[in-house]
Amino acid sequence: MQNHLKWVVAIALITALVAVGGMSCTSEEEEMETYKVGAVFSLTGPASHLGVPEGQTVEMIVDQINANGGINGHPLEVIIYDTETNAEKCATMVNRLIEQDNVLAIIGPTTSGNSLAIIDTITAAEIPLISCAASTLIVQPVEERYWVFKTPQTDKQAVTEIYTYLEAQGITEIAIITDTSGFGAAGRDILIADAADYGITILDDQNFTSGDTSMQSQLTHIKGTNPEAVICWATDKESAIVAVDMQTLQMDTPLFCSHGIANMGFITGAGDAANGVIFPAGKLLIINNVPASDPQKEVLTQYKADFEALGEGTVSTFGGHAWDALNFAIIALEEMEEGLDTAEARAFIRDEIEQIEGFVGISGVFTMSPADHLGMMPGSLAMIEIVDGEWTWLQ
């Protein structure tokens, strides 16, 4: 009995010691400095349907990282501010992140306009920015974009994808119909500039304004030129009107759209007329069609499952832009040594992001270099056709 008691006491003591030791370990971790990253998204305003899933995605990742012990023991905190999709508000919030919150890197903003408006501030403050917006100008000319990176595919990549597809189909005569807003006008310029490289002639070049309620007149003009395909470059609402008007005019010319229609809103808005529309977009939309051999299959499946478990609706490619952006920052933070001051840490993160190689993200596979601050590898975009109201991959 005596012996037994000794053992019990000994075991109890050891357990207590381990527990105390464990506790002291935990408290040491809590003392480790929190890594602070800033984020500016369009949580309200015209681009809020893009910014809201971005914010949700970032909060989801932060919870996951901290639940798994943080980054090398450092807790991660992302301070998210709303830009209201307003360039001035965005600039104010970016200044606050840099000056008051002392963040190590900034992700966002959601829109190209907001991103371009803060590049000078970012560059002067010497802090890395990872934008979630489309325009090529955000990362070019790269000499003037030393501190700036971005994650979404560019208009040019989307145009290349469509033209490559048309070339393979032997289609050479097309018509284009574009929105006069920033997004449509940028697409139009690239469509016109690149056509000759693929042996494509643009027979008709029509425009409309955001907010127009009918594109029938422009499509009547296009119909008269007998193109083999029509390309529409606009956001989802106007693209849906184009699709419906083409159906009304009984045009059976195939309609190609931009990646701007990569959401269910286009399908519900255009109804039957959505069927047969082809557009380039990230593989997230057609994840079920992606073969297991695809490098992105696992990451995409996991992100979709994680996001939809939040109960905030279906996953969108836009949240994926923020997933990629925050992960760039996390990859850099994982490599960071202890004891750097804020300026050194910001410079270190920038250098690390520029060296990212073969990173499998949501929008694609990324390999950065000093000459390429997007680094998205070919094959990241899929051509998607809407069949019976569902996205299907055209391989």
Partner 1 sequence: MSADQFVQYLVSGLTQGSIYALVGLGFTIIYAVTRIINFAQGEFVMLGGMLSFTLAISAGLHLVPALLLSVLIATAMGAIMYLLAIRTAKRASAVSLIILTIGAAIFIRGIAGELWGVDFVRPPFFTGSESISFLGAYIHPQALWIIGTTIVVTILLHLFLSYTMVGKALKACAISPRAAGLVGIDAKAMALIAFAIAAALGAIGGVVMAPLTLTAYNVGVMLGLKGFVAASIGGFKSPLATVVGGIVLGIVESLAVGVDWGPFTSAYKDAIALVVLLLILILRSGRLAAEERES
Question: Which residues contact partner 1 (rule: CB under 8 A)?
Answer: 46, 48-49, 180, 205-209, 211-214, 216-218, 220-221, 223-224, 236-237, 240-241, 244, 247-250, 265, 268-269, 271-273
For residue 104, give every residue at least 6 positions away whose Cβ sits within 8 Å of its Cβ, in sequence order, or none: 35, 36, 37, 127, 329, 333, 342, 345, 346, 349
Rounded least distance, CB 36 to partner 1, Å = 30
For residue 246, the minimal CB distance to partner 1 (Å) is 10
In whole angstroms, the minimum distance from the beta carbon of 219 to partner 1 comes to: 9
Return the SS3 of 3. helix
Q: Which is nearer to partner 1, 249 or 330 (CB)?
A: 249
Whole-number minimum distance, CB 110 to partner 1, in Å? 13
Output the CA angle 102-108-109, nearest 5 degrees. Answer: 110
Exposed/middle/buried for 210, CB within 10 Å: 0-12, 13-18, 19+? middle
For residues 155 and 245, which CB has a smaller minimum distance to partner 1 in the complex? Answer: 245
Task: Give least dist CB 134 to partner 1, A.
Answer: 18
Q: How far is the CB of 224 from partner 1 (least distance, A)?
A: 5
CA distances from 159 to 71, 109, 154, 207, 209 (A): 38, 23, 9, 17, 21
Choose between 62 and 261: whose C-beta lies nearer to partner 1.
Answer: 261
Cα–chain center distance at 259: 12
| Cα–Cα distance measured from residue 70 to residue 184, given in angstroms and rounded to the nearest whole number | 42
User: Where in 18-143 does DSSP place strands (E)?
Assistant: 35-41, 76-82, 106-107, 129-131
The Cα 109–Cα 132 span in angstroms is 6
The burial of 372, by beta-carbon neighbours within 10 Å (0-12 exposed, 13-18 middle, 19 or more buried), is given as middle
For partner 1, the closer CB: 241 or 332: 241
Collapse the DSSP code of 376 into the 3-class scheme (helix H, G, I; strand E, B; otherwise coil) and give the result: strand
Q: Which CB, 249 or 347, lies closer to partner 1?
A: 249
User: Which pair of structure tokens corresponds to residue 210?
Assistant: 């955001």
**Of 52 and 80, which has the nearer Cβ to partner 1?**
52
Rounded to the nearest whole angstrom, what is the least distance from the CB of residue 163 to partner 1 in the complex?
A: 22
**Which residue lies nearer to partner 1 by CB, 136 or 207?**
207
Token reading at 194: 């690149």
Shorter beta-carbon distance to partner 1: residue 49 or 96: 49
User: Looking at beta carbons only, is 51 or 364 nearer to partner 1?
Assistant: 51
Where does residue 49 rank: exposed (0-12), middle (13-18), buried (19+ CB within 10 A)? middle
CB of 263 to partner 1, least distance (A): 9
- Is 42:83 a contact under the CB 8 Å cutoff? yes
Q: Between 48-67 and 317-335, two packed helices, what is the crossing angle to 10 degrees?
A: 40
Least distance from C-beta 127 to partner 1, angstroms? 30
- Cβ nearer to partner 1, comparing 47 with 119: 47
- State in angstroms the smallest separation of the CB of 196 from partner 1: 20
Cis peptide leading into residue 291 (ω within 30°): no
* Count helices and strands in the chain by DSSP H and E runs: 12, 14
